[in-house]
């Protein structure tokens, strides 16, 4: 794992955007795996700004989002289809044929999950998978106890996740109980996994992911098995890392240092 510790959340977001931008510059037809949640909002703001400034182009990329709530149609205000349409796809006028999310309203969610993995494979696999992390260590909606070899499938959300995401729903709405999520095996097949975490609420999960045992108790710990995982943190999210000083020596302020 490459662990990059930036001085504050804005710097962590900027570093993450830089990694995505470089990938798009190297290959405009990149297949991106995208994530939702509060942490990703400033990432998409910056990507839109940079695309509008002509610094990067996203119109030739293909994307696959991590997950979608079961039961929500794409036009539902709290669906991840809507989240992505409002924050990235709409503002940049991207071709919907290139942007994929699981259909939460599919008649047969299990079949939809299998179709989704097949569609990712058909597209050549994911080049860069963007990830957040839940306070309970989930990636995508792979909650604790998820098989570390899981394909895309339907998962039951934990109460902690439903409570954490209640802020996105109205007072009279309930957070769905199920989601279709890329599996851990799906995520591990990506050629580069980039996880962004900011804030003290993520510190324990980040430490368990990077320094704890490889365990379904913390599904993000599966990234220890990823050949190329980059973890981008602010100092608060990095606070519980025992080997923090080492990571800061290897990558001072989260930057690359030439060898030699």
- Catalytic (active-site) positions: 67, 136, 138, 143
Binding ligand PGA (rule: CB under 6 A), the pick from 7, 28, 38, 73 is 38
Tell me whether residue 85 or residue 98 sits nearer to ligand PGA (CB atom).
85
Question: Among 32-40, 180-188, 232-240, 241-249, which window interacts with ligand PGA (CB under 6 A)?
Answer: 32-40
Instruction: Check residue 176 for interaction with ligand PGA (CB under 6 A).
Output: no
Strand partners, 62: 31
Considering only 31-39, 44-52, 102-110, 183-191, which stretch makes contact with ligand PGA by CB under 6 A?
Answer: 31-39
Whole-angstrom distance, CA of residue 182 vs CA of residue 33: 10
- Cα(70)–Cα(84) distance, integer angstroms: 16
Q: Which is nearer to ligand PGA, 37 or 102 (CB)?
A: 37
CB of 48 to ligand PGA, least distance (A): 18
- Interface with ligand PGA, residue 9, by CB under 6 A: no
Residues 125-164 that bind ligand PGA (CB under 6 A): 132-134
With CB under 6 A, what is the number of residues at the site for ligand PGA? 6
Q: What is d(CA 169, CA 7) in angstroms, rounded to the nearest whole number?
A: 31
Phi, psi (5° rounding) for residue 130?
-85, 135
Q: What is the per-residue DSSP string for 120-132?
A: HHHTT--SEEEE-
- Length of the chain counted residue by residue: 260
User: Which stretches within 27-158 are classed as H helix?
Assistant: 41-52, 80-84, 90-92, 109-122
Contact set with ligand PGA (CB under 6 A): 37-39, 132-134
């Amino acid at each position: 794992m490459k662990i990059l510790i930036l001085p504050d959340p804005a710097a962590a977001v900027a570093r993450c955007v830089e990694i995505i931008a470089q990938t798009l510059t190297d290959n405009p037809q990149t297949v991106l795996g995208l994530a939702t949640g509060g942490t990703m909002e400033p990432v998409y703001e910056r990507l839109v700004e940079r695309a509008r400034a002509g610094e990067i182009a996203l119109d030739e990329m293909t994307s696959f989002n991590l997950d979608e709530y079961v039961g929500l149609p794409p036009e539902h205000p709290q669906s991840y289809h809507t989240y992505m349409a409002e924050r990235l796809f709409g503002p940049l006028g991207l071709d919907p044929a290139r942007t994929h999310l699981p259909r939460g309203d599919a008649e047969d969610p299990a079949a939809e999950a299998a179709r989704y993995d097949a569609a990712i494979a058909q597209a050549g696999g994911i080049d860069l998978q963007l990830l957040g992390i839940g306070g309970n260590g989930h990636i995508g909606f792979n909650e604790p106890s998820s098989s570390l070899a899981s394909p895309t499938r339907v998962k039951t959300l934990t109460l902690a996740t439903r409570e954490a995401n209640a802020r996105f729903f109205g007072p009279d709405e309930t957070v769905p109980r199920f989601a279709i999520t890329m599996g851990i095996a799906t995520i591990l097949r990506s050629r580069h996994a980039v996880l962004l975490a900011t804030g003290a609420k993520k510190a324990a999960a980040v430490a368990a992911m990077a320094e704890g045992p490889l365990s379904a108790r913390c599904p993000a710990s599966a990234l220890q098995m990823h050949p190329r995982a980059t973890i981008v943190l602010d100092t608060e999210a990095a606070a519980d890392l025992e080997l923090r000083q080492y990571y800061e020596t290897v990558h001072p302020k989260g930057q690359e240092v030439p060898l030699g």
